[in-house]
Structure 1
Amino acid sequence: MREQLGRPMRGVVGIAARCVCGNPTVVATEPRLPDGTPFPTFYYLTHPGATAAMSALEATQVMRELADELAGDEQLQAEYAAAHAAYLADRAAYGEVEEIAGISAGGMPTRVKCLHALAGHALAAGPGVNPIGDRALARGDWSPERCTCAHPRTAT
Structure 2
Amino acid sequence: MKPDPWPQHPDPVSEADAAAVRKQLGRPIRGAHAVAWRCPCGQPAVIETEPRLPDGTPFPTTYYLTCPKAASAIGRLEGGGVMKDMNERLAADPELAEQHRRAHEDYLARRAKLGEVPEIDGISAGGLPDRVKCLHALVGHALAAGPGVSPFGDEALERLPEWWRNSSCASGQETPQ
Q: CA 1:35 to 1:147, structure 2 compared with 1: closer, same or farther past 3 Å? A: farther
Aligned to 2:36: 16
Give a deviation string over 1:70-114, Cα, whole Å, max 9, x none. 111111111111111110011001111111000000000110000
What is the Cα deviation at residue 57 of structure 1?
1.2
Partner of 2:14: none
Report the AA paired with residue 56 of structure 1. R
Instruction: Please report the TM-score for the alignment, with normalisation by the length of structure 1.
Output: 0.92
Residue in 2 that maps onto 1:75: 95
TM-score scaled to structure 2, two decimals? Answer: 0.81
- From 90, 93, 105, the equivalent of 1:85 is 105
Residue matched to 1:126: 146
Q: Aligned to 2:161, what secondary structure does the other structure show?
A: coil
Q: How does 1:1-156 map to 2 (within 5 A)?
A: 1-142=21-162, 146=165, 148-149=167-168, 150-151=172-173
User: Secondary structure of the residue that 1:8 maps to in structure 2?
Assistant: coil
Query: What is the RMSD computed on CA atoms of the aligned residues?
Result: 1.6
Q: Secondary structure at the match of 2:133?
A: coil
Contact 1:26 1:45 in 2 (8 A): yes
- Distance (whole Å) between structure 2 residues aligned to residue 148 and residue 69 of structure 1: 35
Confirm or deny: 8 A CA contact 1:23 1:152 kept in the other structure: no
Identity %: 57
Shift of residue 140, structure 1, vs aligned partner? 2.3
Q: Secondary structure at the match of 1:32?
A: coil
Q: Distance in 1 between matches of 2:120 and 2:162?
A: 31
| Residue 143 of structure 1, CA deviation | 5.1
SS at match of 2:34: strand
Report runs of 4+ in structure 1 exceeding 4 Å deviation. Answer: none
**1:44-66 deviation digits (Å, cap 9, x = unpaired):** 00011110011111112111011
Residues 1:147 and 1:84: Cα distance change in structure 2 (over 3 Å): farther
Number of equivalent positions: 152
Distance across 2 between alignment mates of 1:23 and 1:38: 27
Q: Which runs of 5+ in 2 are unaligned?
A: 1-20
SS of the residue corresponding to residue 53 of structure 1 reads helix
1:147 Cα deviation after fit: 6.1
